[in-house]
Amino acid sequence: MLSCISKIIEGKSNGENWTSDMLNLEIEYISKTLELMRDAQQISNDAYLDSGSIQGGLTVISSLMEQDISENEINSLMQTLYSRAVNLEEKYPGLSDTLESYRVSIL
C-alpha cells in the first residue's frame, strides 16, 4: 500500500496530473491484488480488511476530484493516506512489497 500511495504522490511531484481515471485504475489494481493475496494466503483477513481503508480513501479522493475539489484539499487527503499506509506497513511488514510483486503479472 505504501508503494502505491508513494508512487501517486511522486508522480504528482514530477509533474503528473492526477485524474479520477488514474486513481480508479490504481483502486482496481489494489482491489484485485488484495483479493488474490488473500486467496493465496499471503495476507491475513485482518491485513485485507485494514488495507481496505487505503482503497476506500482513494475512492473518496477520486470522487472528490470529479467534483472539482481544490488541489490543496486533495494533497492534504493524499498525505493522510500516506500516513495510514505507513502505519499499515508497520503493522503488516512486507505488505507493500507483496502487493507490488503482482503488478507485472496483473498488468
pLDDT-based confidence at residue 107 (cuts at 50, 70, 90) = very low
Task: Tell me the whole-structure pTM to 2 decimals.
Answer: 0.87
Mean pLDDT, range 61-74, rounded to an integer = 93
Residue 32: its pLDDT value, please?
94
Question: Any idea where the domains of the chain sit in the sequence?
Answer: 2-106
- 6 within 8 A of 94, measured Cβ to Cβ: no
What are the distances in angstroms from CA 27 to CA 52, 83, 91, 103? 10, 18, 21, 13
pLDDT digits (tens, 9 = 90+) for 1-47: 889 999 999 988 888 888 999 999 999 999 999 999 999 999 999 99
Query: CA-to-CA distance for 44 and 4, rounded, in angstroms?
Result: 19
